[in-house]
């Protein structure tokens, strides 16, 4: 069993972070892709064996009406707003993927996370978009992790993950993964971002991890640094 522990983003200076963890999920790539030179710098400064994963650019998964677009450093013309998000098979979305892939390769990342908003529901249009997107892009050797939110049934998730070669990503305190060669947990807080995990919570998390041969545990709550450190120690002691 292998349990990899880290945070969603760098809650401390990178040099300090590297001293304690061997994994991070880059969040900035969701809001606005960094310069290629910046990603290369992160890779070069990280210790040997350190693993980067990253979130796919929001232009792929989220519509321009999403409040997250406030952090996007580009203007989208009103007439072009219907060309972005929801895995639409448009030139704009495919271009956003190519730029995301470029950053993933600069980081030597193996995993790209596609997090969908709750508004991305299991409609025929959305499912058709997913098929057109994932079957139409060059993924190279990358592993794709999909975090659906909202009213998706396990049977539908499993079928799409199997068909499109995706790993089902979950917050294990909310639901269980239904497909994948490994587990990818994003821990958003039991009651939300401001939640602080208790010792009992972390014991429960370790129990869930033991059901898999390999697990990624990425903390994304207000106390992610402290939570991840405490869970890392718990894992090391077992």
Give residue-wise pLDDT tens across range 202-235: 999 999 999 999 999 999 999 999 999 999 999 9
Q: Are strands 23-26 and 166-170 parallel, antiparallel or unpaired?
A: unpaired
Question: What is the pLDDT at residue 101?
Answer: 98
28 Cβ neighbours under 8 A, 6+ residues apart: 9, 34
Task: With a cut of 90, say whether residue 154 has pLDDT above it.
Answer: yes
Nearest-CA neighbor of 52 among 105, 114, 115, 116? 105
Task: With a cut of 90, say whether residue 122 has pLDDT above it.
Answer: yes
The confidence band for 110, taking pLDDT boundaries of 50, 70 and 90, is: very high
3 close to 218: Cβ distance less than 8 angstroms: no
Q: For 2-236, which CATH superfamily applies?
A: Protein of unknown function UPF0759 (3.20.20.410)
Domain ranges of the chain: 2-236
- Return the H-helix or E-strand segment holding 162: helix 154-164
**Range 103-109 average pLDDT:** 98
Mean pLDDT, the chain, whole residue set: 97
Question: What is the pLDDT at residue 107?
Answer: 98
Question: What is the pLDDT at residue 14?
Answer: 96
Task: With a cut of 90, say whether residue 150 has pLDDT above it.
Answer: no
Question: What is the pLDDT at residue 169?
Answer: 98
195 close to 222: Cβ distance less than 8 angstroms: yes
Nearest-CA neighbor of 103 among 35, 12, 17? 35
Between the alpha carbon of residue 13 and those of residues 16, 19, 34, 225, 236, the distances in Å are 5, 10, 17, 11, 23
The confidence band for 118, taking pLDDT boundaries of 50, 70 and 90, is: very high
> Rounded to whole angstroms, how far apart are CA atoms 21 and 235?
13
Burial class, 66, CB count within 10 angstroms (exposed 0-12 / middle 13-18 / buried 19+): middle
Task: With a cut of 90, say whether residue 125 has pLDDT above it.
Answer: yes
| Helix pair angle (36-45, 91-106), 10° resolution | 30
Q: Looking at the chain, which runs of residues are DSSP E strands?
A: 2-8, 23-26, 51-55, 111-115, 143-147, 166-170, 183-187, 214-219
150 close to 170: Cβ distance less than 8 angstroms: no
> Rounded to whole angstroms, how far apart are CA atoms 185 and 217?
5
């Amino acid at each position: 069993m292998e349990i990899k522990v880290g945070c969603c983003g760098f809650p401390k200076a990178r040099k300090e972070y590297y001293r304690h963890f061997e994994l991070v999920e880059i969040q900035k790539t969701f809001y606005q892709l960094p310069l290629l030179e910046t990603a290369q710098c992160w890779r070069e400064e990280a210790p040997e064996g350190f693993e980067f994963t990253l979130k796919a650019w929001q232009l792929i998964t989220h519509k321009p009406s999403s409040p997250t677009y406030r952090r996007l450093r580009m203007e989208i013309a009103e007439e072009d707003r219907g060309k972005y998000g929801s895995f639409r098979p448009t030139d704009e979305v495919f271009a956003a993927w190519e730029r995301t892939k470029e950053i993933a390769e600069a980081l030597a990342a193996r995993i790209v996370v596609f997090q969908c908003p709750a508004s991305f529901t299991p409609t025929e249009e959305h499912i058709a978009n997913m098929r057109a997107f994932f079957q139409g892009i060059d993924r190279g050797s990358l592993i794709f992790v999909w975090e659906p939110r909202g009213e998706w049934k396990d049977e539908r998730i499993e079928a799409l993950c199997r068909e499109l070669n995706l790993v089902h990503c979950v917050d294990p305190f909310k639901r269980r993964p239904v497909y994948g060669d490994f587990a990818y947990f994003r821990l958003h807080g039991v009651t939300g971002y401001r939640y602080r995990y208790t010792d009992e919570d972390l014991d429960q998390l370790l129990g869930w991890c033991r059901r898999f041969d390999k697990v990624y545990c990425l903390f994304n709550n207000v106390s992610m640094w402290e939570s991840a450190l405490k869970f890392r120690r718990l894992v090391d002691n077992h």
